[in-house]
């Protein structure tokens, strides 16, 4: 594989220049790149010229929640930096194995809002479809790291049950495609889902929550764009960027292509200790998002999922950070600081 051979051994601009000289027919497809994820932390650390001892890597944490990350994303990590903000989002650490009171496997009680397999109905006017358990990345703070995906993997008949549920409730105006990552599924399966949703008269919006434009920009291909462009509903895509370093020219191009076919781009981040818990990091992120044509939307407090307590930031610190952002940025670049709680009918604005 070309990207595997590069392995991040050269600067990002060098890699981009090299890729431009490779005939398109020789470049790996997005499907090939998705099949060639980094899953061995030791390989990732070797690419970054780091030792396990320097990072706090834990084999036990890896066994509890496997590592997955694209090579394109890994190439944006800085060599020799054990505290790289992208590395810390994916590397299994010993801190994950510490038991912390108040942290749960299902912190948002999603099991109580799961009326049919693959569908969550928590908020008025919208439902969420668990399109797949697959992701191109395993974020170590993921609130669904313990989610029962085996019980939410519908057959075609099961998907029809979800479609009937949506079609039968005229109060549902928005369908959210989630996962896993909905763009990790094939275009053919996505085409099936979108074509079944498109004719439902009370649906006004299709929202897609995905990290693929950041992790695998090549996923934003012409077939996907045509599927989205053909929908009668408005299409909103929420990417999940936590740090400005997650962007490069390829990500910018993916965002541009989405905007050109009428997709509204928003971002939601999670406030994470050691990654983006400084005013400078958050300000840089908002500015970098807007430069890519993405509007900052939410800054989430950490969901209290088992294994992620070391990422938590106190609410008082979060509010102070938002205060600095309000002083230094125009209002449209300041995301809403929110917390999601089980059994609440909306997110809680801090």
pLDDT band at 104 (very low <50, low <70, confident <90, very high): confident
Q: Which of these three, 97, 119, 144, is where a domain ends? A: 97
pLDDT higher than threshold 80 for residue 295: yes
If asked whether residues 90 and 131 sit together in one domain, one would say no
If asked whether residues 208 and 294 sit together in one domain, one would say yes
Note down the domain range covering 8.
Answer: 2-97
**151 vs 276, higher pLDDT:** 276
Count of helix runs (H) and strand runs (E) in the chain: 15, 9
- Cα–Cα distance between 55 and 91 in angstroms, integer? 9
Q: Quick check: is 250 in a domain?
A: yes
Q: Quick check: is 228 in a domain?
A: yes
Strands 119-120 and 126-130: antiparallel
pLDDT higher than threshold 70 for residue 126: yes
pLDDT higher than threshold 70 for residue 128: yes
If asked whether residues 57 and 129 sit together in one domain, one would say no
> What is the domain count for the chain?
2
Ramachandran class of 158: left when φ > 0, alpha when ψ lies in -120 to 50, beta otherwise: alpha
Structure confidence at residue 194 (pLDDT): 97
Mean pLDDT along residues 29-40: 97
The pair of three-digit structure tokens given for residue 33, joined into one six-digit string: 């790149």
Structure confidence at residue 3 (pLDDT): 33
If asked whether residues 88 and 115 sit together in one domain, one would say no
If asked whether residues 138 and 273 sit together in one domain, one would say yes
pLDDT higher than threshold 50 for residue 14: no
**112 vs 140, higher pLDDT:** 140
Q: What is the pLDDT of residues 143-186, one digit of tens each?
A: 776 666 555 567 778 889 999 999 999 999 999 999 889 999 99
pLDDT higher than threshold 70 for residue 92: yes
Q: Quick check: is 104 in a domain?
A: no
User: Which residues are registered as beta bridge partners of 126?
Assistant: 174
Q: DSSP secondary-structure letter at 222?
A: H
Mean pLDDT along residues 216-232: 97
Structure confidence at residue 105 (pLDDT): 72
* Neighbour-count burial for 225-236, b at 16+ CB within 10 Å, e otherwise: bebbeebebebb
- Cα–Cα distance between 106 and 237 in angstroms, integer? 25
User: Which residues are registered as beta bridge partners of 297?
Assistant: none
Mean pLDDT of the chain, nearest integer: 89
Q: Which of these three, 69, 97, 125, is where a domain ends? A: 97
| HEC secondary structure over 57-75 | ECHHHHHHCCCCECHHHHC
If asked whether residues 115 and 260 sit together in one domain, one would say yes
Q: Quick check: is 211 in a domain?
A: yes
CA 298 vs. chain centroid, Å, equals: 13
Structure confidence at residue 4 (pLDDT): 34
If asked whether residues 127 and 236 sit together in one domain, one would say yes
- Cα–Cα distance between 318 and 321 in angstroms, integer? 5
- Residue reference for tokens 């291909």: 221
Q: Quick check: is 304 in a domain?
A: yes
pLDDT band at 16 (very low <50, low <70, confident <90, very high): very low
CATH of the domain at 200: 3.20.20.70
pLDDT higher than threshold 90 for residue 70: yes
Q: What is the DSSP string of 222-261?
A: HHHHHHHHT-SSEEEEEE---SGGG--HHHHHHHHHHHHT
Q: Quick check: is 54 in a domain?
A: yes
pLDDT higher than threshold 90 for residue 36: yes
If asked whether residues 146 and 54 sit together in one domain, one would say no
Q: Quick check: is 325 in a domain?
A: yes
């Amino acid at each position: 594989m070309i990207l595997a051979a590069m392995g991040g051994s050269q600067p990002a601009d060098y890699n981009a220049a090299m890729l431009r000289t490779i005939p398109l027919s020789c470049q790996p497809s997005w499907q090939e790149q998705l099949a060639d994820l980094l899953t061995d932390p030791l390989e990732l650390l070797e690419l970054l010229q780091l030792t396990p001892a320097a990072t706090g890597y834990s084999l036990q944490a890896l066994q509890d929640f496997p590592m997955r990350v694209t090579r394109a994303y890994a190439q944006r990590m800085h060599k020799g930096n054990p505290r790289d903000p992208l590395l810390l989002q994916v590397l299994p650490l010993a801190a994950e194995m510490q038991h912390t009171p108040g942290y749960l496997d299902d912190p948002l009680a999603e099991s109580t809002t799961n009326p049919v397999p693959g569908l969550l109905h928590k908020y008025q006017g919208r439902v969420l479809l668990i399109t797949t358990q697959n992701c191109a990345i395993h974020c170590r703070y993921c609130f669904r790291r313990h989610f029962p995906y085996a019980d939410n993997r519908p057959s075609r008949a099961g998907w029809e049950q979800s479609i009937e549920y949506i079609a039968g409730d005229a109060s549902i105006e928005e369908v959210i495609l989630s996962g896993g990552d909905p763009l990790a599924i094939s275009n053919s399966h996505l085409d099936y889902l979108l074509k079944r949703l498109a004719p439902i008269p009370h649906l006004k919006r299709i929202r897609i929550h995905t990290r693929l434009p950041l992790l695998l920009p090549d996923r934003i291909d012409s077939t996907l764009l045509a599927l989205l462009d053909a929908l009668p509903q408005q299409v909103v895509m929420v990417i999940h960027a936590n740090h400005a370093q997650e962007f490069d020219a390829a990500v910018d191009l993916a965002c541009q292509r989405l905007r050109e076919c009428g997709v509204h781009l928003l971002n939601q981040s999670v406030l994470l200790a050691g990654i983006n818990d400084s005013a400078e990091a958050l300000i840089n992120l908002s500015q970098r998002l807007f430069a890519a044509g993405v509007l900052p939307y939410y800054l989430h407090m950490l969901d209290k999922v088992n294994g992620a307590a070391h990422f938590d930031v106190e609410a008082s610190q979060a509010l102070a950070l938002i205060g600095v952002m309000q002083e230094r940025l125009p209002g449209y670049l300041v995301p809403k600081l929110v917390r999601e709680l089980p059994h609440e009918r909306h997110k809680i604005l801090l």
